[in-house]
């Protein structure tokens, strides 16, 4: 069984670092530093199929699980990543149970019944429609984890991406509580100062962009330099 699938089943934390762009050379560093998965983001970055293929192969060499977030839930798009031996898919805009069923069936079709169980299926919960259909989405077999998207959820609810209004925060909390109560592995972005809330929510999938790692490391570096000058 894929190590990440096992960690999800055991409700152990999984650190998935968004590598940002065409950065195959960071894979080895991420693996040695304790990341579990390379999050290859074809939705929010300019990464296309060719670059994603390069990153999938670099992750495999480094011993990292490769997760591709597609720019579309269209099966014709998703199957291209499966054909390039990605370890798992992160699929955006899953609004109903049928969307989740289609993804699971696509993985089985692309890989065959013998290899499909080793692949990871993560669906994003990021719209008002997904909240309303969450019980039905959770009932779909073959989904390994759920990624809550606070930014897109804010846009769906409030018409403003990244809004952190009480309604948005309550919606995120409500989704997390329902997933936790159902025993479903789930995650969301979590900066360092948000980790206590992340752990308290019951989340196990930590989505972490590489720029957050760089920001934290550079702040620490500057603080250490300033301390030495005093």
For residue 129, the domain's CATH number is 3.20.20.60
Span between the terminal Cα atoms of the chain, in Å:
53
Pair of tokens at residue 90: 């992160």
Q: How many domains does the chain have?
A: 1
Per-chain mean pLDDT for the chain: 93
Region 118-143 average pLDDT? 96
Using CA atoms, how far apart are residues 175 and 54, in angstroms rounded to an integer?
35
Q: What is the pLDDT of residue 158?
A: 75
Give yes or no for residue 159 having a pLDDT over 80. no
Give yes or no for residue 1 having a pLDDT over 60. no
Report how many helices (DSSP H) and strands (DSSP E) the chain contains, helices first. Answer: 11, 8
Give yes or no for residue 168 having a pLDDT over 90. no
The phi and psi torsions of 78 (rounded to 5 degrees) equal -60, -40
Q: Are 87 and 7 in contact (CB under 8 A)?
A: no
Residue ranges making up the domain that contains 84: 3-229
Q: What is the pLDDT of residue 113?
A: 85
Q: What is the pLDDT of residue 156?
A: 82
Measured in whole angstroms, the distance separating CA 122 from the mean position of its chain's CA atoms is: 7
Q: What is the pLDDT of residue 89?
A: 97
pLDDT tens column, 9-30? 999 999 999 999 999 999 999 9
Using CA atoms, how far residue 193 sits from 40, 68, 162, 181, 216, in Å, is 24, 27, 17, 25, 11
pLDDT tens column, 70-125? 999 999 999 999 999 999 999 999 999 999 999 999 999 999 888 899 999 999 99
Nearest CA to 208 among 111, 67, 70? Answer: 67
pLDDT tens column, 29-50? 999 999 999 999 999 888 999 9
Q: What is the pLDDT of residue 173?
A: 94
């Amino acid at each position: 069984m894929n190590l990440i699938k096992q960690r999800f089943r055991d409700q152990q934390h999984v650190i998935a670092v968004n590598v940002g762009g065409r950065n195959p050379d960071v894979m080895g560093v991420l693996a040695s530093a304790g990341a579990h998965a390379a999050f290859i983001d074809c939705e929010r970055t300019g990464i296309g199929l060719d670059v994603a293929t390069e990153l999938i192969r670099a992750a495999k060499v480094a011993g990292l699980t490769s997760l591709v977030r597609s720019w579309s839930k269209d099966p014709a798009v998703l199957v291209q990543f499966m054909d390039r031996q990605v370890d798992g898919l992160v699929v955006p805009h899953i609004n109903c149970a049928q969307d989740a069923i289609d993804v699971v069936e696509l993985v089985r079709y692309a890989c065959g019944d013998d290899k499909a169980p080793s692949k990871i299926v993560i669906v994003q919960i990021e719209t008002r429609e997904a909240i309303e259909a969450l019980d039905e989405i959770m009932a779909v077999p073959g989904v390994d984890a759920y990624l809550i998207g606070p930014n897109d959820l804010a846009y769906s609810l409030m018409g403003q991406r990244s809004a952190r209004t009480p309604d948005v925060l309550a919606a995120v909390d409500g989704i997390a509580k329902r997933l936790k109560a159902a025993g479903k592995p789930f995650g969301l972005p979590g900066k360092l100062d948000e980790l206590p809330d992340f752990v308290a929510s019951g989340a196990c999938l930590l989505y972490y962009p590489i720029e957050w790692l760089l920001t934290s490391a550079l702040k620490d570096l500057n603080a250490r330099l300033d301390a030495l000058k005093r």
